[in-house]
Chains A and B, each alone.
Chain A
Amino acid sequence: MEWALALAAMLAVVAVVFVARPFLRDPSPASDRLDELAPEARRRLALAEERDRALAALKELEFDHRTGKVSDEDYRAQVGPLRRRAAEVLRALEHGEQARHERVPGQGERVP
């Protein structure tokens, strides 16, 4: 009984020290502010997601065309807009153009 309670007490002490560790390691930090993405970083993240989506869509279209799932006609109709959109997003990411940050052409989705 006693050893059990001693073990429980030891566990409790270890747990409390572990929980208090951020305060013990850094008692007087220069900043205690939790990181958060700035609005600009959020816009870039949304663009990065859009870029990945556009590039993946292009890759998938090429593959489906090669396997015969997408006909030449369908391929020609889709590849142009997809390439344009990918290029626009890449340009927006590279140049950080405000107008393109706020509204992604082709997709028409407002960036949060």
Chain B
Amino acid sequence: MAPLGRATLLLAFGLVAYALVAGSYAAWKRRRRLALSAQNALLAAFPTTLVAAVVLLVALGRRDLTFVYVWQHTSHKLPLGYALSAFWGGQEGSLLLWLLVLTGYAGLAVWLNRRSRELIAWTVPVFGLVATFFAFMLCFVSSPFSVQPAPVDGQGMVPSLQNPYMLAHPPLLYLGYVGLTVPFAFAMGALLSGRTDERWIVATRRWTLAAWMFLGVGQLIGSHWAYVEIGWGGYYAWDPVENAALMPWLAATAFLHSVMIQEKRGMLKVWNMVLVALAFNLSLFGTFLTRSGVIDSIHSFAKSPIGGWFLGFLALMIVLSVVLIRWRLPLLRTKTRLESLVSREATFLYNNLLLVALCLTILWGVLYPVLSEAVRGETRSVSKPYYNFFLHTFGLPLLLLMGLGPLVAWRRASLRSLGKTFLVPFAAAVVTGVALLALGFGSSWPGLLAYTFGAFVVASILLEFVRGRAAAGGVFRLIARNRRRYGGYVVHAAVVLLAIGIAGSSAYQTVRERTLRPGQSIEAAGYTLTYRGLAGVKGPNYTGFRALVAVSGHGERFRLTPGENFFPIEGQATEASIYHDPRSLGDVFTTAQIVKGDKIDLKVFVKPLINLIWAAGFLFVAGALIAMWPDAVEQRRLAARYAAGAAPAGI
């Protein structure tokens, strides 16, 4: 089996290297058949990589411990689902997943846009370059197909990874990370070919949205995993690896907004190229952080010598992006200017500045400890207050802008029409703010502002739907005639839910901790938790205990069973027990540790509104799908536009 895996990876390496070298030569010398041949090599790389992936999956499923990778990440008693999820649990498997998704995406994107030969001729080598790097790493630096004499049992999987959310979180993140390669490859292809018209944007619009959606959902699922599995009562710790996924998402969010200005007004061509390059390079940086072990965090399970290679490749891609954008500046410059600082495009610009500022401050927070250690030899860390400060500074105005933007017309808006359109949302925000102050929510100003701005955004979105429905003659007709706009509004509503959930569960949470004997109680936010005693549990590959806790309060009675699991090979893991309160949309979250005998240390978090964060995920996906859904009228219009030398719009 292992030789088949190695051979197919070598074949994939040969194919993508050919796509890079032959594709570049063909595009440069304008050789049609060679360009098609390079394109075919890129298409053939996916099934070849798929065979390698199947080999690894079969080895994981059979717990074939002659594979070093299988031995490192599984054990005989590990359930099959988790054994298969070890595919992305380690470094070599993750790199293989990168290459698999990349060759799949590249093949499909190139095939769908194959008639736009001039652009595709230069896009193929860019895909080839990225794929060659990953194939090289897999063949010569970090192979998942190294073998050994079979040991008695494997080293198992880190207990916290043995969670159903881990079956979805990493693959979704990779679908997002790798998906950002598609707009990058087309953008660089556009620069190389001199096709700086909107063809590359049309070709990659839905790819960018899909990558952005996967990255967003992947992060939310990761946050939920952290919440239920890690046992510290939170869902986002500003961990460098969490930040590494957030940064490309922020850059992609900025791009999705600014690209609309290019499409509507023909402006910001340079800025859009910069954002695409930034998002892609941050996705590479994210993989580097996750897999190189350069920053010590709970996610950095794997440490290996790939760091130097990755850093070199990252530097190469940054230099390539900068050089190409600089080279094509004359083609990218436009003479169109903003007509007014009070216009839709201006609000998009403010949104972009805030998103990029937030992204860069997070990047600095991630880099500072590394640079500090490298330059001064001092170990420094950037903690939660730093990130929270910038989240409040940039995030709250961003929230407000989500409400302002839709109400402002393109080009310019007079103060009189603004006054009329702002009246309802402004009144909703003031009423909400005053009511919350009266109800005692003034203890947290960021929380109060988040709720007030949230009310403004929700009112502005509702106003848009109500007025639009009347003008279009129905909600479905309204959405169908401008899917991107109204899909975007649904996403904005999801962000408001997210903000309310975050503010409620962090600014207004209650935390209590106490050592208890059976029969003793602890009070938290109106709940009484009484510890009854301990019970043992046994799973397929672990044993453990559960503390039996009876809870009463707010007219409810229920039981919680926090505890710990002990895995013979892998170690110990906290098992939180959570009650979802449907009335407050919040949780009662508990963890327990044995102190001595049957005495336990019980920790309780009462987190109002936290379930809105997870509900926001569904709304986010719904909005993204609406925005992505193909529009037959638009497809026909674009097909006619590019009939002279390009294909109809692809996916």
Contact = CB atoms under 8 A, between A and B. Distances in A.
B469 to A, nearest CB: 9
Contacts of A1: 3
Interface in A89-112: 107-110, 112
Interface in B1-59: 1, 3-4, 7-8, 11, 15, 18, 26-27, 30-37, 40-41, 43-44, 48, 51
A69 B409 contact: yes
Interface in A1-46: 1, 4-5, 7-8, 11-12, 14-15, 18-23, 26, 29, 31-37, 41-42, 44-46
Nearest to A35: B117
A72 B35 CA distance: 55
Interface in A53-78: 53, 56-57, 60-61, 63-64, 66-71, 73-74, 78
B336 A109 contact: yes
Interface in B105-119: 117-118
Contact of A19 (B15, B121, B644, B645): B15
A11 B642 CA distance: 37
- With a 10 A CB-CB cut-off, give which of B7, B117, B331, B412 has the most chain A CB atoms: B7
A56 B416 CA distance: 25
Contact of A71 (B121, B335, B416): B416
A15 B46 CA distance: 11
Nearest to B45: A15
Nearest to A4: B4
B636 to A, nearest CB: 12
A110 B333 CA distance: 9
> By CB atoms of chain B within 10 A, which of A35, A52, A109 has the most?
A35
B198 interface: yes
B8 A8 contact: yes
A69 B417 contact: yes
A23 B33 CA distance: 6
A73 B412 CA distance: 12
A12 B6 CA distance: 13
B467 A34 contact: no
A67 B32 contact: no
Given A11-B8, A64-B409, A68-B421, A45 B642 contact: yes
Interface SS of chain A: helix
Given A67-B468, A71-B417, A19 B18 contact: yes
Interface string B621-640: 00000000000000001000
A35 to B, nearest CB: 5
Interface stretch (B155-163, B245-253, B262-270): B262-270
A61 B18 CA distance: 50
Contacts of A37: 118, 195, 644-645
A20 B3 CA distance: 26
Given A33-B30, A71-B420, A5 B4 contact: yes
Contacts of B43: 18
B37 A34 contact: no
Interface in B261-295: 263-266
A101 B353 CA distance: 34
B470 interface: yes
A22 B197 contact: no
B414 interface: yes
Contacts of A66: 471
Contacts of B468: 63, 67
Interface string B116-128: 0110010000000
B393 interface: no
A61 B416 CA distance: 17
A111 to B, nearest CB: 10
A15 B11 contact: yes
B471 A34 contact: no
B414 A74 contact: yes
A15 B42 CA distance: 10
Contacts of A5: 3-4, 7
Contact of B411 (A35, A68, A78): A78
B62 interface: no
Contacts of A33: 30, 32
B421 A32 contact: no
Given A45-B644, A70-B413, A109 B44 contact: no
Interface of A: 1, 4-5, 7-8, 11-12, 14-15, 18-23, 26, 29, 31-37, 41-42, 44-46, 48-50, 52-53, 56-57, 60-61, 63-64, 66-71, 73-74, 78, 107-110, 112
10 closest pairs, A vs B, by CB? A8-B7, A4-B4, A71-B417, A67-B467, A22-B36, A22-B33, A37-B645, A66-B471, A34-B30, A34-B32
7 contacts: A12-B7, A37-B644, A45-B644, A57-B411, A69-B467, A74-B413, A108-B336
Given A22-B32, A32-B33, A107-B266, 9 more contacts: A4-B1, A5-B4, A12-B11, A19-B15, A22-B37, A29-B33, A37-B195, A67-B470, A69-B407
